[in-house]
Structure 1
Amino acid sequence: MSRYLPLVLLLLSTIAHAATSLRVGNKVLTIGDSAVRVQALMGLPAMRTFLTQETGGMPNNQMARGEQWQYAREGSTVVITIVGGRVANIETLYH
């Protein structure tokens, strides 16, 4: 069983990939950029999902509200999580 673990982990890593930056043309979108910059680089999202996300150090009764914006891009879906008007996470889902 343990000899198959690296293969399983490799397969799972190709399904979704989280990053701290994303190249958009000749520009780069990074964690911490504003939601306005996301729209300037990527345009309007194909889908917006509203969520409540815990952020580090906040008590359970004080949750940060956020959104996940989805963009179709070159055979993949880019999911950008916006919390407090800033990019909190960038994830690429491969089809």
Structure 2
Amino acid sequence: MTTQQDAGSSAAFSACTASSDVAAGFPELDVRGIPLDQRCPAITAALEALAPGEGLTIITRHNPLPRMQLALGPMLATQVQLRSIAACPSCWRLSLVRV
């Protein structure tokens, strides 16, 4: 399992299904069952629905950052902060916080 976290987080990922953000109660959006052309709109809508300080964990089969940066570039740059990212053989978990 590959793990990266921001400097302010001391909790480690013990498994792909257990991160500090999930334990903190972040809702999850599992996009693995959403058709590819509908994923970015679903993620955008979920992020826009968050109040500042609220978070969301996105679950997908692959690294979501390259595609999200293309589709959500301005939003990712100004309204959302990456909290943590984890990868295991079956999924990627990306936790984001609305700023």
Point out the structure with the larger helix share: 2
Q: Which has the higher strand share?
A: 1
Q: TM-score, normalised by structure 1?
A: 0.27
- Greater RCO (CA < 8 Å, at least 6 residues apart): 2
| TM-score normalised by L of structure 2 | 0.27
Q: Decide which structure has the larger Cα Rg and report it.
A: 1
